[in-house]
Structure 1
Amino acid sequence: MFLVKDSSLSREKRIQQFFIEDPSLSTLLAVIHFEWTVRRAVIALGTSPNVNIRTQLKSCHGHKAYKKIWQEEVFPKRGQRLTEVVSNWDGLHKAFKLRHRLVHGVSNCGAEYARDRTSWAIDACQNIRGFCLKHDIDLDSRLPIRQQPRK
């Protein structure tokens, strides 16, 4: 679906192109894109060595779990909670709820309903990228490496 070399903007453009054919798929892709974005942001902005953060992220799923790891890794150094960085946390919450219902086959949705949730997830990605850029981090580039101290 996406390649590692794809920029965030090109991912978002593809997500919006999918909307025309399949609004539900567009929402799923937007939430996946959010997860990719927030995971990279936590690695880049966090305080622990990258390997430790990546280990934590293996069991991290859902916006509430990302909020928690952000609180532990990013907030102490950067002073903003994920709920403050993402301008419409409630909208992101609704996008994740739809993602859950779609993935588990509980329901389907109409185009207008999916459009809002897709937009909210993409907006959240843009909020996080903007926050990272303020801290001199480009999520589309190679991430900084923090290694464990040698013993």
Structure 2
Amino acid sequence: MKRNASAHWEGSLKDGKGTVSTESGVLSEQQYSFKTRFENGKGTNPEELLGAAHAGCFSMALSMILGESEHVPDSIDTKASVTLSQGSDGFEISAIHFDVTAKVPGIGQSEFLEAANTAKMNCPVSKALKSDITMDIHLTE
């Protein structure tokens, strides 16, 4: 299975602009630029898109793992904070931090933490990244 996304860029790094699109059409020529990435300009950026993809992948993996142990979640909300750092070799995504809140009937904190850690390490997006992946979890009743 392959999924496709594309980017188009025109101009220099600081003055240029681009668009990103997905095969599904969910993103269709969405604007991004230096200002949306390094300042607070209107539009998206690669780190934000990566965070959305990672949060979605993790949430689905956690749902699967919980369901396999007869704990179907009522809800899972995952925020992924992606850190872009500048080092001696240029910019890199140096960390991704998950903040997870879930409502899972009949599960204890330790069992939930084990499932969340398994999902964090094994969702396909996590496997694709070299970044340090961390998270906080919040189990609600």
Task: Specify the TM-score bucket, using the shorter chain as the normaliser.
Answer: 0.3 to 0.5
The structure carrying a bigger strand percent of its residues is 2
TM-score (norm 2): 0.35
The structure carrying a bigger helix percent of its residues is 1
TM-score (norm 1): 0.33
